[in-house]
Structure 1
Amino acid sequence: MSEKTNQPLRICMISYRSNPHSGGQGVYIRNLAKALCELGHEVDVLAGPPDPLLEGAARLIPVETLDLYNPEALFRTPRLDELKDPVNLMEWIGTSTMGYPEPFTFGFRAVRHLKDQLHKYDIIHDNQSLSYGIEKLSRKIPTVATIHHPMTVDRRLAVRSVRAPWKKFKHLRWYSFIGMQKRVSRKLPKIITVSEFSKKDIAREYAIDPSRFSVVPNGISTELFHPMPAIPREPGRLIVTNSADMPLKGLYHLLEALHRVSLTHSVRLTVIGKAKEKGGIEKLIKKLNIAHLIDFTGRIDHHQFVREYAKASIAVVPSLYEGFGLPVGEAMATATPVISTTGGALPEVAGDAALLVPPGNSNALAKAICSLLDDPEKRKQLGAAGYNRVHEHFTWKNAAEKTVETYREVIRDYR
């Protein structure tokens, strides 16, 4: 391990599933790894599919898994030769019984890959797998983990969102990995989290002493998310970047608000992504008869994503809870005026540069949308304030520097 406190560190980041285009964890690993390398550190990223599309000098070490959540072959049946591997067998059985075993099994895969490689690194940084394998590695090398927000919140909201007992059981089974994550996180020397709100919630939900946390806000990729003044904003065009049926993301409430707004205003909603076939979002759209007001983009590349922001008059973040709130920061970076709920840490990101409403309140959301549609000067003011706030407070360079401070503290204490 490195002996001088100012010399470059050799870092192994572990990320079990890190889609670089959706989900805060994927965005986090891609951008933090790049920023750490730009500070002069060496970074290897041990990752399962999909490819995190690393940039800069960060090196990807791909880990083969069954990849049962690949949308191109969702829940495929593994070949018999694949199931000869005990880890693969555990993963398949867990998935087949309505569980989500990837964090658990990826820990074993990480131990395998690093068995004879630990001497190459000064520290391991786990990206919220919090698996038993990570605990095992932490006994041999300085280890830190990032927890973006407590998954107990996701579980609670998911269970509350359904009435049928079998559906409640299904959600409880899916989130059964949480027990492991609680136990492992209590044994790690340091936890990085992305907001003060997340720190308080994780400390309470996982029974971890608050003194063991290091709060490092995420950055926003301003080279990727930026204004495009040559593209005119379309009057009445709203944008939301989450199409998931997850109750946590609040899209249901935005659709109800959209219906109310359409009664008095000319409005359209761009949804980045697509709705789950025969899922709750699709059913609600039919019930409200608002399909003609909504454009689902499906999968789009990043350039088109930013163009959609440029065309929008307002970005809406209807989440019931966010551990940080990347959608708010990314929208503000494009100078798009933002309406956000106060769910979780969203106010920490938005500050006074967005219109804030209570989470889960479609009436309040509708009123905020109407008021902003009727006030072009306010939209201009919020767009400029959001852009400035991101550039002043949320850069990946800042995030990387604070993360390195935590690394050095953990390494020093380990010795």
Structure 2
Amino acid sequence: MPDSSALRVALLSYRGNPYSGGQGVYVRQLSAALTSLGHRVTVFAGQPYPHLENGIPFVAVPSLDLYRADDPFRTPGLREFRNWIDVLEYAYLCTAAFPEPLTFSLRMRRLLAAQAGSFDVVHDNQCLGWGMLGLRRAGLPVVASVHHAVVIDRDFEIARERNLVRRLTLRRWYQFHNMQDRVARQMQRVITVSEKSRRDIVERMGVDPTRVRVIPIAVDGTVFTPQPATPRVPGRVFAVASADVSLKGVVPLLHAIAAIRQRRPVEVVILGEARPNGAVARTMKQLGLSDTVRFMRGVDEAEVARQYAQAEVAVVPSLYEGFSIPALQAMASGVPLVATTAGALPEVAGAHGETALLVPPGDAAALAEAIGSLLDDPPLRIRLSEAALRRSRERFSWEATARATADVYREVVRKRLP
């Protein structure tokens, strides 16, 4: 059994995009915080690879990279196929399924089973593929992070899709959640980020509640911090929507902005992208917002922080969140926040009228009223942003996240849990 003060950790992430979604941020910040506590962390990840702090060992686990930003759903060349796992990955793509969680887990089963004695614990970040069970059979303790139940994403997407063929395609795409649910039920411990996510994991994935631990995450306070020297742009609203899916609530936000624009100047920057001919792009065209709303992507955290610093209001319009890194980024940056009451957002943002303005999810009129009231009321912006900044500093830190996570590692290693 390892020394209680230092653990050898294999931290896995089937994709580590540093600019979109939370997986890359989670892996970078958690690996750095664990390392600062004296643990030895090696990160294993597929494309797009994460950006890690200097000195943290990284092992690339390349896939066929079928969803790369510059060539999504591409056809790989024959020489790119290295083994049967690559063939399986492409076959899944050809049948409209999402293969990455499964194929990454199978690659990790090959990599780690042969060196089971090199690590004390494996930490799987939301992959939950069948290969994770193979690692357990090889004698490695395995802990899994589940940020939220993916079946919720599926249900939101299907409920808002009217085209029958598209609905069937979505069902096929999200079929991997069945595998993830079954693997999660066999994990020794599951770490999640909020009480709301814990309830959803128990109810929607069937995980034993005694195996689930809630450990909130944080943001980098050296990057996301008030920048008083950066001037605010009058009427500027900033939002983060890491994926062009209905779950992120961009369409209601666009309707809210169209309503605000009728009575005052407003401009919006959204960190994300609008799929050609997708619902967001169609709504932009319908509402004539091309001169009001601008999308950006592929920028580093320093630029994201600068966008918060320039904004008068930050918005998280999501229809569901298992946590919400963008909400916490805004709070830590000292920007007044408008968020919905969906999922765990109230757990992060705090009480309505005290640290943020909270509105019902999908309610464009309520969004417009909240955003407009902040744009028109500088004292209210100052009061909410100062209270939110205090909340972010008092309740959320990566050091606390790392300490609690290491406690879960030790629980699994010491007890050799079934």
1:121 — aligned with what?
119
Change (3 A) 1:300 1:135: same
Segment of structure 1 superposing worse, 354-363 or 54-63: 54-63
Cα RMSD of the aligned pairs, angstroms, is 1.3
Are 2:340 and 2:359, in contact at CA under 8 Å, matched by a contact in 1?
yes
2:388 — aligned with what?
386
Amino acid at match of 2:363: N
Please state how far the C-alpha of 1:56 moved relative to its aligned partner: 4.0
Deviations 1:318-340 (A, max 9, x none): 00001011000001111000000
SS in 1 for 2:17: coil
1:131 — aligned with what?
129
Q: Tell me if 1:29 matches 2:27.
A: yes
* In structure 2, C-alpha distance between the alignment counterparts of 1:244 and 1:107, rounded to whole Å: 23
1:43 — aligned with what?
41
Please state how far the C-alpha of 1:84 moved relative to its aligned partner: 5.3
2:274 — aligned with what?
275
* In structure 1, C-alpha distance between the alignment counterparts of 2:205 and 2:273, rounded to whole Å: 34
* In structure 1, C-alpha distance between the alignment counterparts of 2:349 and 2:193, rounded to whole Å: 14
Segment of structure 1 superposing worse, 148-157 or 135-144: 135-144
Q: Tell me if 1:404 matches 2:418.
A: no
Please state how far the C-alpha of 1:152 moved relative to its aligned partner: 0.7
Superposition map of 1:137-286 within 5 A: 137-139=135-137, 140-242=139-241, 244-286=243-285
Please state how far the C-alpha of 1:145 moved relative to its aligned partner: 0.1
- Give TM-score, length-normalised by structure 2: 0.96
Kindly tell me the number of residue pairs found equivalent between the two proteins.
Answer: 413
- Give TM-score, length-normalised by structure 1: 0.97
Deviations 1:285-323 (A, max 9, x none): 110112111122343333222211111000000000010
* In structure 1, C-alpha distance between the alignment counterparts of 2:372 and 2:277, rounded to whole Å: 30
1:358 — aligned with what?
360
Amino acid at match of 2:320: Y
Amino acid at match of 2:168: F
Are 1:216 and 1:399, in contact at CA under 8 Å, matched by a contact in 2?
yes
* In structure 2, C-alpha distance between the alignment counterparts of 1:212 and 1:301, rounded to whole Å: 35
Are 2:89 and 2:99, in contact at CA under 8 Å, matched by a contact in 1?
yes
Are 2:145 and 2:190, in contact at CA under 8 Å, matched by a contact in 1?
yes
Please state how far the C-alpha of 1:93 moved relative to its aligned partner: 0.8
* In structure 2, C-alpha distance between the alignment counterparts of 1:227 and 1:350, rounded to whole Å: 17
2:372 — aligned with what?
370
* In structure 2, C-alpha distance between the alignment counterparts of 1:237 and 1:390, rounded to whole Å: 22
Change (3 A) 1:360 1:320: same
Change (3 A) 1:400 1:356: same
* In structure 2, C-alpha distance between the alignment counterparts of 1:84 and 1:125, rounded to whole Å: 26
1:316 — aligned with what?
315
* In structure 2, C-alpha distance between the alignment counterparts of 1:273 and 1:321, rounded to whole Å: 17
* In structure 2, C-alpha distance between the alignment counterparts of 1:95 and 1:9, rounded to whole Å: 37
* In structure 2, C-alpha distance between the alignment counterparts of 1:114 and 1:399, rounded to whole Å: 25
* In structure 2, C-alpha distance between the alignment counterparts of 1:165 and 1:296, rounded to whole Å: 30
Change (3 A) 1:298 1:195: closer
Q: Tell me if 1:307 matches 2:330.
A: no
* In structure 2, C-alpha distance between the alignment counterparts of 1:225 and 1:404, rounded to whole Å: 25
Amino acid at match of 1:267: V
Deviations 1:366-401 (A, max 9, x none): 111121122110100111111111111111000000
Amino acid at match of 1:90: L
Are 1:33 and 1:43, in contact at CA under 8 Å, matched by a contact in 2?
yes
Are 2:21 and 2:242, in contact at CA under 8 Å, matched by a contact in 1?
no
Please state how far the C-alpha of 1:243 moved relative to its aligned partner: 5.8
Please state how far the C-alpha of 1:138 moved relative to its aligned partner: 1.6
SS in 2 for 1:271: strand
Deviations 1:96-127 (A, max 9, x none): 21110100111110011113211011000000
Amino acid at match of 1:233: R
* In structure 2, C-alpha distance between the alignment counterparts of 1:19 and 1:173, rounded to whole Å: 24
* In structure 2, C-alpha distance between the alignment counterparts of 1:171 and 1:382, rounded to whole Å: 39
* In structure 1, C-alpha distance between the alignment counterparts of 2:382 and 2:25, rounded to whole Å: 28
Ranges in structure 1 where 5+ consecutive residues have no aligned partner: none
* In structure 1, C-alpha distance between the alignment counterparts of 2:82 and 2:123, rounded to whole Å: 30
Change (3 A) 1:210 1:282: same
Are 1:237 and 1:311, in contact at CA under 8 Å, matched by a contact in 2?
yes
Please state how far the C-alpha of 1:76 moved relative to its aligned partner: 2.1
SS in 2 for 1:390: helix
* In structure 2, C-alpha distance between the alignment counterparts of 1:187 and 1:414, rounded to whole Å: 14
Task: State the identity %.
Answer: 43
Amino acid at match of 1:333: A
Please state how far the C-alpha of 1:58 moved relative to its aligned partner: 2.1
* In structure 2, C-alpha distance between the alignment counterparts of 1:150 and 1:206, rounded to whole Å: 7
Q: Tell me if 1:20 matches 2:18.
A: yes
